[in-house]
């Protein structure tokens, strides 16, 4: 089981390296890693388990964050609809790649955080508002999905980890809260 102790922090070199593609069929170790990363997200979003295991809440986790330089990420975006408990997006992504994206930018109104960053870094992180994502599942089946707004932002954050990029690399150092016209602010 992955805990906060397994998540490396921003000063570790693995977080700045480009992760390598996995090959199919996946090894048992790679499958287990994907499943354990998803289990971490599920536990971190369950208030009781999160408190019991002392987990920070997360919606995404990439393999480099647990010191594994492979292109694997887990994403679990909970539904904001109280009527529908199905997550907005829940997948373990192997070799994910953004095929296309919108011109329009989007950012989270309260900024972004990261399980590997133990400090608050204020500022807008502008990403694409809509993306078309291709990835493979555990069985090696190719999947393609269109995501927008919050799920798109979360996936882009995780893909950055696979490319050695941290969220604050996107923040304008001189004017952290300046936005170009037309950027969607997601509250």
Q: Does the annotation mark 39 as catalytic?
A: no
63 contacts 33 by C-beta, under 8 angstroms: yes
Residues whose CB falls within 8 Å of the CB of residue 126, separated by 6 or more in sequence, listed in order: 105, 106, 107, 170, 179, 180, 183
Two tokens, residue 185: 């602010």
Choice among 158, 173, 181, 187 that is catalytic: 158
At 162, list the tokens. 């696979």
- Helix, strand, coil shares, percent, the chain, to 5: 30, 25, 45
Which conformational region is residue 147 in: left (phi greater than 0), alpha (psi within -120 to 50 degrees), or beta?
beta
Q: Which residues belong to the active site?
A: 158
């Amino acid at each position: 089981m992955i805990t906060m102790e397994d998540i490396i922090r921003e000063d570790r070199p693995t977080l700045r390296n480009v992760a390598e593609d996995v090959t199919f069929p996946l090894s048992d170790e790679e499958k287990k890693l994907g499943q354990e990363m998803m289990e971490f997200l599920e536990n971190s979003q369950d208030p009781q388990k999160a408190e019991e295991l002392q987990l920070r809440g997360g919606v995404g986790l990439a393999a480099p964050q647990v010191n594994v330089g492979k292109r694997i990420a887990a994403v679990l975006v909970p539904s904001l609809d109280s009527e529908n408990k199905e997550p907005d997006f829940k997948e373990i992504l192997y070799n994910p790649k953004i095929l296309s994206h919108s011109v329009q930018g989007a950012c989270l109104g309260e900024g972004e955080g990261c399980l590997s960053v133990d400090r608050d870094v204020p500022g807008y992180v502008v990403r694409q508002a809509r993306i078309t994502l291709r990835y493979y599942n555990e069985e090696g089946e190719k999947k393609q999905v269109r995501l927008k707004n919050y799920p798109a932002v979360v996936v882009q954050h995780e893909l950055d980890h696979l490319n050695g990029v941290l969220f604050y690399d996107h923040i304008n150092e001189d004017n952290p809260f300046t936005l170009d016209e037309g950027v969607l602010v997601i509250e």
